[in-house]
């Protein structure tokens, strides 16, 4: 087994082999039969058709229950360590589609505690970032009557008893093996997975009866939910079902958009000029000269610009295939392709930024238990 | 160094060599000079005069500050895993004396989370026990205007941010070395010391300025506070000062009264008959026959009954010396000595049980942040 890539909730390095990762983690492919089954509920989302959300755990069982009238809830989250970028938004957009398609409630956990423990940030930093990130989440249009945002340090009284139960069932050995911890890991980090597990079981605790949970998120989060699923039956909780997506690519050609490379990362608050500049510098599959490209064509498989269309900015399958063909045949040059992507991203961001301002009015109502947000400048 | 005894917050075994323990833990003896200094504030408590509270950390610095007008607060606690026994009451009685002598506020932490994590108990069990134990604490007469009781799962929102800061500074290596954890320890237990540290820093967080803390407790708790003291300066918190007592002896002759031997343990809710029976069966330093004892005398050093007078039930030093002399010379027999102790314990408990009933009226007001207690039968 090749070890040239690493995927944990806190570190993604190397060229990820998503098939191999699925094998390593022991998750199940989202195959044609499952897509067929999902199509009964409406148009299947492009992220499913294109294999971006590509792997799952127990989704069939969840749908079996749903079809018998057992409503589930959605749970996903965000570690607030900086501004929101497109890579964060991608799975949220998918969650929104699931909420709309199944009409289900949603819990969104913001792990200000986690980012404090794992990064060089204060709790004040991570709480303020949580507010900024929450605006992006809310701007996507989640049903305000069915969606609640959990902020760990604010909602800890609800989470802690569940986290204690989880933590009592997880040994340091397990945490070491699953997350790659060692003796130098701080004891807050060691405990943290218990807190991330808690929202998956919160509606069950509140209802006093098992409420099934579906967690659509990045495959890098699987270690947390492997642990959560292992301990669930012993605690009388349902095992959460999972849907996993691939990492949103960076503009530099890397496998994951990351805040550590600001120039290869498009933030939700970026203006048109910044977007133009970042896309202009993107890694492409083009040739060194126009002549060569007209003759030999480009390679969309390795092109960051093409991936942006594929992941988020071209929903029409025939058009995305056409774009790939035109690239390979040398009909379209990188400059044109980048200009069009820039336009699309800027249109998206213009609309998003307006909704993000509107979100300020309702983000307070969506706070779980009615906590008060900590905003910048307060 | 002999290893025939073990003292951790969760396990006390073997014959404790308190001098050696002090060396191992690196605490400082409470010596004549310190007793002299304490005598300026009033009559020195018998537990100090008799070397029951025998060791400390930074008590002189705390008193230096106090004499310059810097008020400190008291912090001690209880892990609610069962009924309160006399061994739990002993350090609380001492805390009451400190509160009266210095007129200082007090925080009392009830670690329902700890007992859930370390014992085969549910959170419901430990919360209900916390209420029962709190009645015993309140019955001792702590100033209701200056004393607050923290229940971890209820007050976690106040404790958690502090615990996070502590936990970020403590590695698994440290926890392993200090508490004797290994890879099979659950991750809640690994994290727990951060929660026990938190009340020591809570008034500092609340006031936004350093508030010195004094923690009088059993020496078995030193591992927790060694860790807390180590991390305090880096977090801008004052190092808590410590006063440590020896373990209250069991009636069976063991070094620590323990709930695991019910017949050698006097609970605060015991009736006169139970006390009579338990004291009647106590391990003594007497001889096998009356004749032999009249001739050779008894040995108060090893006698559990004598220790009860010494620790709690005879405050007059001349009288305790007289009792020891009368024992050694064979003037008093074990039966008489046990009968007198039974009378004293029952008088104490009769009074305590009445105050314990009264405590029900005010224990609600003493709940930190006004949480609602969970009582038996609710």
Q: pLDDT 10s per residue in chain A (378 long)? A: 456 888 889 988 888 999 999 999 999 999 999 999 999 999 999 999 999 999 999 999 999 999 999 999 999 999 999 999 999 999 999 999 999 999 999 999 999 999 999 999 999 999 999 999 999 999 999 999 999 999 999 999 999 999 999 999 999 999 999 999 999 999 999 999 999 999 999 999 999 999 999 999 999 999 999 999 999 999 999 999 999 999 998 898 777 767 777 888 999 999 999 999 999 999 999 988 989 999 999 999 999 999 999 999 999 999 999 999 999 999 999 999 999 999 999 999 999 999 999 999 999 999 999 999 998 767
Domain assignment of residue A77, yes or no: yes
Question: Which residues on chain B are in Cβ contact (under 8 Å) with A113?
Answer: 160, 164
Q: What's the gap in Å between the CA of A108 and the closest CA on chain B?
A: 19
Q: Scan residues 193-252 of B and list those with Cβ closer than 8 Å to A.
A: 193-194
ipTM > 0.90 for the complex: yes
Structural domain including B299 reads 262-358
Domain assignment of residue A197, yes or no: yes
Q: How far apart are CA A172 and CA B130, in angstroms?
A: 28
Q: How far apart are CA B225 and CA B210, in angstroms?
A: 17
Q: Are A335 and A247 part of one and the same domain? A: no
Q: What's the gap in Å between the CA of A234 and the closest CA on chain B?
A: 14
Which of A226, A251, A276 is where one domain is finished?
Answer: A251
Query: Between A and B, how many residue pairs show a Cβ–Cβ distance under 8 A?
Result: 116
Burial of B288 from C-beta contacts in 10 A (0-12 / 13-18 / 19+):
exposed
The residues facing B223 across adjacent strands are none
Q: What is the mean pLDDT of residues B232-260?
A: 89
Q: Are A284 and A336 part of one and the same domain? A: yes
B375: Cβ contacts below 8 Å, ≥ 6 apart: B128, B131
Extract the tokens encoding B148. 């607050």
Q: Scan residues 102-121 of A and list those with Cβ closer than 8 Å to B.
A: 113, 116-117
Q: Are A266 and A211 part of one and the same domain? A: no
The answer to whether residue A154 neighbours chain B at the CB level (below 8 Å) is yes
Task: Say if the Cβ atoms of B188 and A188 lie within 8 Å.
Answer: no
Q: Are A348 and A242 part of one and the same domain? A: no
Residue A310 DSSP symbol = I
Q: B147-151 and A53-57: which strand pairing?
A: unpaired
CA-nearest residue to A181 within chain B is: B172
Task: Say if the Cβ atoms of A167 and B117 lie within 8 Å.
Answer: yes
pLDDT for the residue numbered B263: 83
A324: Cβ contacts below 8 Å, ≥ 6 apart: A300, A306
The answer to whether residue B123 neighbours chain A at the CB level (below 8 Å) is yes
Task: Say if the Cβ atoms of A187 and B176 lie within 8 Å.
Answer: no
Q: Are A228 and A269 part of one and the same domain? A: no
The answer to whether residue A157 neighbours chain B at the CB level (below 8 Å) is yes
Neighbours of B50 (CB within 10 A): 15
Which of A251, A274, A295 is where one domain is finished?
Answer: A251
Q: What is the mean pLDDT of residues B290-314?
A: 94
Q: Are A158 and A196 part of one and the same domain? A: yes
What would you measure as the largest C-alpha separation in chain A, in angstroms?
A: 68
Q: Which of A124, A163, A164 to mutate to test the interface with B (most CBs of B within 10 A)?
A: A164
Partner residue facing A175 (CB), from B167, B181, B187: B187
The residues facing A16 across adjacent strands are none
Domain assignment of residue A367, yes or no: no
pLDDT digits (tens, 9 = 90+) for B112-165: 999 999 999 999 999 999 999 999 999 999 999 999 999 999 999 999 999 999
Task: Say if the Cβ atoms of A187 and B170 lie within 8 Å.
Answer: yes
The answer to whether residue A171 neighbours chain B at the CB level (below 8 Å) is yes
pLDDT for the residue numbered B1: 43
Task: Say if the Cβ atoms of B160 and A160 lie within 8 Å.
Answer: yes
DSSP-based three-state secondary structure for B284: coil
Q: Are A54 and A188 part of one and the same domain? A: yes
Q: In what order do the strands lie in the sheet with A73-78?
A: A28-29, A53-57, A241-245, A213-218, A73-78, A106-110, A147-151
Q: Are B51 and B119 part of one and the same domain? A: yes
pLDDT digits (tens, 9 = 90+) for B74-101: 999 999 999 999 999 999 999 999 999 9
The answer to whether residue B5 neighbours chain A at the CB level (below 8 Å) is no
Extract the tokens encoding A254. 């890397």
Angle among Cα A95, A100, A101 to the nearest 5 degrees reads 95
DSSP-based three-state secondary structure for A361: helix
Distance between the two ends of chain B, CA-based, in angstroms? 51
Partner residue facing B188 (CB), from A113, A164, A182: A164
Q: Which of B111, B163, B187, B190 to mutate to test the interface with A (most CBs of A within 10 A)?
A: B187
**CATH code of the domain containing B164:** 3.40.50.620
Q: What is the mean pLDDT of residues B30-36?
A: 98
Task: Say if the Cβ atoms of A153 and B161 lie within 8 Å.
Answer: yes
The answer to whether residue A24 neighbours chain B at the CB level (below 8 Å) is no
Domain assignment of residue A172, yes or no: yes
Task: Say if the Cβ atoms of A116 and B193 lie within 8 Å.
Answer: no
**Length of chain B measured in residues:** 378
Task: Say if the Cβ atoms of A113 and B164 lie within 8 Å.
Answer: yes
DSSP-based three-state secondary structure for A329: coil
pTM for this entry: 0.96
Total tally of structural domains belonging to chain A: 2
The residues facing A5 across adjacent strands are A14
The answer to whether B251 and B266 are in contact (CB under 8 A) is: yes
The rounded mean pLDDT for chain B is: 95
Q: Are A278 and A236 part of one and the same domain? A: no
Domain assignment of residue A156, yes or no: yes
Burial of A370 from C-beta contacts in 10 A (0-12 / 13-18 / 19+):
exposed
The answer to whether B154 and B367 are in contact (CB under 8 A) is: yes
Q: Which of A173, A185, A187, A194 to mutate to test the interface with B (most CBs of B within 10 A)?
A: A187
Domain assignment of residue A304, yes or no: yes
The answer to whether residue B273 neighbours chain A at the CB level (below 8 Å) is no
Partner residue facing A168 (CB), from B153, B173, B188: B188
DSSP state letters, A240-296: PEEEEEPPPPPTTS-SS--TTSGGG--BTT--HHHHHHHHHT---S--SSHHHHHHH
The answer to whether residue A283 neighbours chain B at the CB level (below 8 Å) is no
pLDDT for the residue numbered A263: 83
Q: Are A134 and A209 part of one and the same domain? A: yes
Q: Are B33 and B92 part of one and the same domain? A: yes
Extract the tokens encoding B98. 């400190």
Partner residue facing A194 (CB), from B163, B165, B188: B188
The answer to whether B242 and B215 are in contact (CB under 8 A) is: yes
pLDDT for the residue numbered B24: 92
Task: Say if the Cβ atoms of A117 and B183 lie within 8 Å.
Answer: no
Question: Which residues on chain B are in Cβ contact (under 8 Å) with A369?
Answer: none
Distances (CA, A) of B4 to A358, B1, B20, B95, B181: 69, 9, 11, 31, 19
pLDDT for the residue numbered B5: 87
Angle among Cα A178, A182, A185 to the nearest 5 degrees reads 105
Q: Are B81 and B230 part of one and the same domain? A: yes
**CATH code of the domain containing B297:** 1.10.240.10
Task: Say if the Cβ atoms of A183 and B173 lie within 8 Å.
Answer: yes
Going by pLDDT thresholds of 50, 70 and 90, the confidence category of residue B3 is: low
pLDDT for the residue numbered A1: 43
Going by pLDDT thresholds of 50, 70 and 90, the confidence category of residue B6 is: confident
Domain assignment of residue B373, yes or no: no
pLDDT for the residue numbered A3: 62
pLDDT for the residue numbered B273: 97
Extract the tokens encoding A348. 């998206």
Domain assignment of residue B157, yes or no: yes
| Phi-psi sector, B141: left (phi>0), alpha (psi -120 to 50), beta | left
């Amino acid at each position: 087994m090749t070890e040239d890539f690493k995927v944990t909730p806190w570190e993604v390095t190397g060229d990820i082999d998503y098939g191999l990762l699925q094998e390593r983690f022991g998750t199940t492919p989202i195959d044609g039969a499952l897509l067929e089954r999902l199509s009964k509920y409406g148009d299947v989302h492009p992220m499913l058709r294109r294999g971006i959300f590509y792997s799952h755990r127990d989704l069939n069982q969840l749908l079996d229950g749903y079809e018998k009238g057992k409503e589930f809830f959605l749970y996903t989250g965000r570690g607030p360590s900086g501004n929101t970028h497109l890579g964060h938004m991608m799975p949220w957009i998918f969650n929104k589609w699931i909420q709309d398609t199944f009409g289900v409630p949603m819990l969104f956990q913001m792990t200000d505690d986690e980012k404090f423990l794992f990064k060089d940030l204060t709790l004040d930093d991570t709480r303020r970032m949580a507010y900024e990130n929450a605006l992006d989440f809310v701007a996507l249009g989640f049903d305000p009557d069915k969606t609640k945002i959990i902020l760990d340090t604010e909602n800890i009284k609800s989470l802690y008893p569940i986290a204690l139960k989880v933590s009592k069932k997880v040994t340091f050995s397990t945490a070491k093996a699953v997350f790659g911890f060692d003796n130098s890991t701080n004891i807050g980090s060691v405990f943290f997975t218990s807190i991330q597990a808690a929202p998956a079981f919160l509606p069950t605790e509140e209802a006093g009866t098992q409420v099934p949970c579906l967690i659509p998120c990045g495959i890098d989060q699987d270690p947390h939910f492997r642990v959560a699923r292992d301990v669930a039956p012993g605690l009388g909780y349902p095992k959460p079902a999972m849907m996993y997506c691939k990492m949103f690519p960076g503009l530099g050609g890397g496998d994951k958009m990351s805040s550590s490379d600001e120039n290869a990362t498009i933030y939700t608050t970026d203006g048109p000029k910044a977007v133009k500049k970042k896309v202009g510098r993107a890694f492409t599959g083009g040739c060194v000269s126009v002549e060569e490209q007209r003759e030999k064509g480009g390679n969309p498989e390795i092109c960051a610009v093409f991936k942006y269309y594929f992941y988020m900015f071209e929903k029409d399958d025939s058009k995305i295939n056409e774009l790939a063909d035109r690239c390979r045949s040398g009909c379209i040059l990188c400059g044109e392709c980048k200009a069009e992507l820039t336009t699309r991203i800027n249109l998206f961001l213009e609309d998003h930024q307006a909704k993000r301002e509107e979100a300020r009015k309702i983000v307070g109502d969506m706070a779980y238990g009615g906590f008060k947000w900590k905003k910048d400048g307060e």
